[in-house]
Amino acid sequence: MADFPFFLRVSVVRIRVLRYHPRMKNPVLFRLIALVLPALIAAAPLPAQTAPVNSQVDSVLHNAMDLYMDLHQHPELSSHETRTAAELATRLRALGFEVTEHVGGTGVVGVMKNGAGPTVMLRTELDGLPVEEKTGLPYASKAHTKDDNGREVSLMHACGHDVHMASWWGTASILAHSKDTWHGTLVLVAQPAEETITGAKKMLEDGLLTRFPKPDIGIAMHDTNGLPVGKVGITPGYAKANADSVRITIYGKGGHGAAPHTTIDPVLIAARTAVTLQSIVSREIKPGEAAIITIGYIQAGTKNNIIPDDAQMGLTVRSYKPEVRKHLLAAIERVARGEAMAAGAEKMPLVERYESTGAVYNDPVLTAHLAGTLEGVLGKGNVVTEDPIMTSEDYAYFVEAGIPSFYFTLGVADPQKLAEARSAGKNLPSNHSPLFAPSAEGGLRTGMIAEVTVLRDLLKGTAADVRKLTKQSGGN
């Protein structure tokens, strides 16, 4: 009540005890006051904590769109996001955040302390992809650079990280200017190299959880053309798969293609290995458990009449559960060795795991709570429960480091185009496509509404209170 004008505060107090009495000289005046006073109270400025989030988002939407278009036209490769990181760091400082740059490479951490309370992390990604944009948008990326192998490549924010960053900044701006609506510590993380699943690990190794306040809860968002603007998707439990990149080098004995009996053919061993590897999922993994072994390439030889000395296979291996992952990786090595032995190879294959990340796991208790929170602001029909998917992302490292998390998806598809595509039995261009074109303004608006709402819901009470919203702390 302290935020109401003084005369209304007095009137509110008096109306609670005001009663008509027959001795009152002017009953008409009494009735007039009784009718008008509630309207005056209703018209009084609302306290900031109940001000509609929609209007606050609309007040920063123009600037968020400007940032989005700037980032869209200036994408940078993983671990080289210097311009992007500097732009976000400058903007956070202007909002009053304590900003640290170069965390885990090009990573940025912004901290705003606003009294006692929980610590909540909001993470975004910095990197673009080596994709030539073909959307035809007036602000399409025309950027080029050289990759780590010295090859000239085009650049595009084909995964929508520009949407994530602009929403992240807009959310930060709203919270920085409405500190009476939350309390605690807000940690904003701009992570490099998500596309190479290395950035989160590097930030952790650089002291993310020791140099800065450790979050009680972590929040992350990813856009999708599978949902229309205005909707968000939630997935309790496993949301994204773990992933391991595996390289198998098979050693044989080369020779002339006309004299195969004098050789040990690594191409044939690779072919047998490729077939047998598929039996791991179909015959060793319990039906119903998610598991994938995909062979992306087999490379060998230089000429058709030469049997080479070696062959190389590239695999991506995915699942959800740690025990399934362990079984798949062990079985791959067993099969590779077994096929080599069956062929009489004199040297056993080299099996290397060179990229990996765990599964993204949404705390189910936290997810159920925040689903209800989002339904309250977006509408129940606009919060969609989605199935887990087999793509991966290195936010999993934060989960594995002990941060209970809520990772949700943001619809960025034009509703009409999505409906037309579905009626024709087609899909809109997905993330990583050169044609991926989010409906940016509507997506940003929903993204900021969702992030602000979730953060305000968590940044209240005590740290102990917010931990009760998680399964690992016994929430229900």
Coil, strand, or helix at residue 141?
coil
Q: How many CA atoms lie within 13 A of 251 on its CB side?
A: 9
Per annotation, catalytic residue among 81, 87, 194, 393:
194
Q: In whole angstroms, give the CA distance from residue 93 to residue 89.
A: 6
Q: Let me know if 244 is a catalytic residue.
A: no
Comparing C-alpha atoms, which of 246, 281, 238 is closest to residue 393?
A: 238
Residue 392: partners with Cβ closer than 8 Å, 6 or more residues away: 197, 240, 241, 242, 243, 318, 357, 359, 360
Q: What is the DSSP letter of 347?
A: S
Helix axes of 266-284 and 322-342: crossing angle, nearest 10 degrees? 140
Cα distances (Å, whole numbers) of residue 171 to 95, 164, 229, 348? 11, 10, 18, 54
Which residues touch 90 (CB under 8 Å, ≥6 apart)? none
Degrees to nearest 5, angle at CA 395 with 389 and 397:
115
C-beta neighbour count of 349 within 10 angstroms:
26
Residues 455, 111: contact at Cβ < 8 Å?
A: no
Strand partners, 377: none
Residue 238 near residue 232 (C-beta atoms within 8 A) = no
The torsion angles phi and psi of 395, rounded to 5 degrees, stand at -55, -20
Active site residue 3: no
Task: State phi, psi for 426 to the nearest 5 degrees.
Answer: -120, 170
What the block records as the tokens of 149 is 């192998």
125, 127, 244, 339: the active-site residue: 127
> What are the residue numbers of the active site?
127, 194
